[in-house]
């Protein structure tokens, strides 16, 4: 990685503004955090800064407030949980810029921690407003980006503030770039991409970028229907992207040209009602009725995927194999997750819902690396430059 990190800069007695991703899920009824993994992910950076006597100022967004304060999106519960994890007080403010925030920042002693209020209470955050970015920069002397999950956004707290302060990467951001970058530049072969989810359109750029790098590509999830349709199969009422059928055919052709073993399902679970009350059956992909829809990969496909994946030394996985939220349509996804932890391979999990699934199954710590970024990891693996990374200072 050619960007400076917090190791490369003296933080002692300095006010350090750290962009974190504390957009954690909350129970709307109780206001309690239901998953603190994003908070835990930034602990190494925060603890390093505390140990090295920095004055730590954390900033984050939560949810999608409409550019104004909303009590359900306030960060007080996050501050409380962070204080428990750090075993030290975490101060808060009622705003992220302005006189109160400035006074709170100036009052910090070395080793103290302050969490600013939700950045998205200001519409200027997502618009990368220069005055808002300058207001954040005025709080600190150094800027650290440790929010890989938002690195694909050109927002004020990600890009704008880096124009006014020395800007370096935190440990989480560095870890993401090293691990995701490693599977693009130096994977151990055989290298497989296991891809699922609803839409081909979400994965096209990723597939095109890795198709010359992988040895295997496995297709499951709702997107498999579009690929099957491009091969001439009847897919019934399955969700397909009609404008992507030709694209799917092109990707199959490119896979063959690059000697990539692209494997589609040979059997699927079908239903006429995608709910926990719907009846379902397993059929060969040649026998999908025109009044049914695909909701999971079938057991024979799981067996084929398993046999080929066992040959691989690097596996990247993004997207469920079926409708994971409904138990009877989650079997393919669960089978793949349970398989990956047994492989003698480097297993890298794309962020977003795929990361949520492996955490939900209690398998995250058994994977080699689980990305904290959904859209950011997809953008990065698609070969796109991330604004949040580009804004940081280069190593000389």
Query: Any idea which residues carry the catalytic annotation?
Result: 38, 199, 352, 375
Question: What is the DSSP-derived secondary structure letter of residue 336?
Answer: H
Our measurement of the distance from residue 97's CA atom to the centroid of its chain's CA atoms, rounded to an integer in Å, reads: 28
Our measurement of the distance from residue 53's CA atom to the centroid of its chain's CA atoms, rounded to an integer in Å, reads: 31
Burial class (CB in 10 A: 0-12, 13-18, 19+), 95: middle
- Residue among 18, 13, 75, 10 nearest 43 (CA): 18
Q: Is 274 helix (H, G, I), strand (E, B) or coil?
A: coil
| Residue 49 CA: distances (Å) to CA of 11, 58, 165, 358 | 7, 11, 17, 30
- Residue among 80, 59, 190 nearest 137 (CA): 59
The pairing of strands 267-271 and 293-297 is antiparallel
- The C-alpha atoms of residue 191 and residue 227 are separated, in whole angstroms, by 21
Partners of 283 in beta bridges: 268
* Phi and psi at residue 295, to the nearest 5°: -130, -5
Residue 205 has which token pair?
Answer: 């750029």
């Amino acid at each position: 990685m050619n960007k400076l990190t917090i190791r490369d800069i003296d933080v002692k007695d300095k006010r350090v503004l750290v962009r974190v991703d504390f957009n954690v899920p909350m129970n709307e009824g109780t206001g309690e955090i239901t998953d603190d993994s994003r908070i835990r992910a930034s602990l190494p950076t925060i603890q390093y800064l505390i140990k090295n006597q920095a004055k730590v100022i954390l900033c984050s967004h939560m949810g999608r407030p409409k550019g104004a304060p909303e009590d359900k999106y306030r960060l007080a519960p996050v501050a409380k949980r962070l204080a428990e994890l750090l075993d030290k007080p975490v101060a808060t403010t009622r705003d992220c810029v302005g006189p109160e925030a400035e006074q709170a920042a100036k009052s910090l002693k070395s080793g103290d921690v302050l969490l600013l209020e939700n950045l998205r209470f200001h519409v200027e955050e997502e618009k990368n407003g220069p005055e808002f970015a300058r207001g954040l920069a005025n709080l600190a002397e150094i800027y650290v980006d440790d929010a890989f999950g938002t690195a694909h956004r050109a927002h004020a707290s990600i890009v704008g503030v880096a124009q006014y302060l020395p800007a370096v990467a935190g440990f989480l951001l560095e870890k993401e770039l090293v691990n995701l970058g490693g599977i693009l530049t130096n994977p151990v072969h055989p290298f497989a991409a296991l891809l699922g989810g609803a839409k081909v359109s979400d994965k096209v750029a990723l597939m095109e970028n890795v198709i010359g790098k992988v040895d295997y590509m496995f297709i499951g999830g709702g997107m498999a229907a579009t690929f099957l349709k491009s091969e001439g199969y009847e897919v019934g009422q399955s969700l397909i992207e009609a404008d992507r059928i030709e694209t799917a055919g092109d990707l199959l052709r490119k896979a063959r040209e690059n000697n990539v073993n692209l494997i589609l399902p040979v059997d699927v679970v079908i239903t006429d009602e995608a709910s926990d009350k719907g009846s379902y059956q397993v059929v060969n992909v040649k026998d999908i009725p025109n009044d049914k829809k695909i909701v999971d990969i079938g057991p024979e496909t799981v067996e084929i995927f398993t046999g080929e994946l066992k040959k691989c030394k690097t596996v990247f996985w993004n997207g469920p194999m079926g409708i994971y939220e409904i138990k009877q349509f989650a079997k393919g996804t669960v089978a793949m997750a349970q398989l990956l932890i047994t492989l003698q391979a480097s297993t890298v999990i794309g962020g977003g819902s795929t990361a949520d699934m492996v955490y939900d199954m209690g398998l995250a710590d058994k994977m080699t690396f689980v990305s904290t970024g959904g859209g950011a990891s997809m953008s990065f693996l698609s070969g796109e430059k991330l604004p949040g990374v580009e804004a940081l200072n280069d190593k000389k």
